[in-house]
Amino acid sequence: MSDLKKIKDDFLLKLEKKLSLSEINEIKTNLFGKNGLISSQFKKIGSISESEKKKFASELNLIKDELQNQINSKINEIQSEEINKKLKKEKVDITLPERTFVQGKIHPVSQTIDEISSIFSEIGFSVEEGPDVETEYNNFTALNTPDNHPARDMHDTFYLDEKKEKLLRTHTSPVQIRTMLKDKPPFKIIAPGRTYRSDSDQTHSPMFHQVEGLHIDKDINMGHLKGCLNYFIKEFFEVKKIKMRFRPSHFPFTEPSAEVDIGYEIKDGKIFIGEGDKWLEILGCGMVHPKVLKNVKVDSTKYQGYAFGIGIDRLAMLKYGINDLRAFFDCDYRWLNHFGFDPLDVPTNYRGLSR
């Protein structure tokens, strides 16, 4: 058998096996590399007799072309096999169900705080904040609350140290003190936030929310207080008329002091705010006591004004028909899904304060 025939037969034998890309490349180098079998045959041409040369050269060229073609088609075959394998592996299974999209809800308390803030901001109130951990001085003493006042009792207040100097604020009223100590009058602020008392049942939770209001200027009187609260309650409950009464009360930081009740009635198990012959207490208020103004170095012969404190959770329960206060703080996702607000579909009297 001639050398050429042997090279070709060996090659065809190898090609019958399943080859990888690197194996076929190795075969290619063995044949066509610098010292490859085919390349060495070409080198031989010079030493062959003239009569044989032509035949040998044409045979060699034929074999060379044939082997090269076979190698190239084998390489193509292996490459397309690999691509197909890869494509199969990376196939997207369009029959998979889509991932569920969970949209968060705005908690009714956050929603109510936003509504209250936007209503008051429309009549010139700005929003102040104070810390949950307060000093005894800001929470009680500066607010003219005497040492023997029941609110100071351990049963009512969460004290944070033995000396009773630090506590969890029992109301948002200390923000009045912080605001007046930090700036000069006039003041026209509201302060929403968390408050704490040692109390827990269907209508009381140890943590709850209040919004404080304070308006101090040169000629502020109780008529302003009444007008402001009347406007707020109508806007908040989205009613045109509201039955409202001021009931004399006592708070150490206001003189005179009052509690405000609003009229309501229940029809077919539903509560209607604004009219009816029943009364519901919703807030405390009064004219800021001169002693409080003295404590924050505001001249009470020149400046005076009103303050109020509203329970936010109570308002939210009334407006949105929620009857157990404790559900607000249970962190039950199903409850939030039901009573919470869609951030993309905000209720009508939301006026666009950024949250």
Residues that bind ligand DAH (CB under 6 A): 171, 173, 212, 251, 254, 284-286, 307-309
**Pick 11 or 306: Cβ nearer ligand DAH:** 306
Cβ proximity to ligand DAH: between 67 and 260 the closer is: 260
Q: How far is the CB of 104 from ligand DAH (least distance, A)?
A: 31
Taking the least distance from each CB to ligand DAH, the nearer of 8 and 171 is 171
Judged by beta carbon, residue 64 or residue 169, the one nearer ligand DAH is 169
Between 70 and 230, CB nearer to ligand DAH: 230
| In the complex, minimum distance from the CB of residue 184 to ligand DAH, in angstroms, rounded to a whole number | 20
Q: Compute CA distances 110 → 27, 184, 204, 340, whole Å.
A: 75, 30, 18, 9
Burial 320-347 (b: 16+ CB within 10 A, else e): eebeebebbeeeeeebbeebbbeeeebe
Please state the closest distance from residue 305 (CB atom) to ligand DAH, in A.
Answer: 10
Instruction: Report the nearest approach of ligand DAH to the CB of residue 173 (Å).
Output: 4
DSSP letter, residue 289: P
Kindly state the smallest distance separating residue 183's Cβ from ligand DAH, in Å.
18
Nearest approach in angstroms of CB 124 to ligand DAH is 18
Asked if 211 and 190 touch (Cβ cutoff 8 Å), the reply is: yes
**193 versus 284: smaller Cβ distance to ligand DAH:** 284
Strand partners, 265: 272
What is the per-residue DSSP string for 75-112? HHHHHHHHHHHHHHHT---TTSPPPP-PPP-B-HHHHH
Closest residue to ligand DAH, judged by C-beta, is 309
Q: Mind giving me the DSSP string for 202-249? A: TTB-SEEEEEEEEEEETT--HHHHHHHHHHHHHHHHT-S---EEEEEE
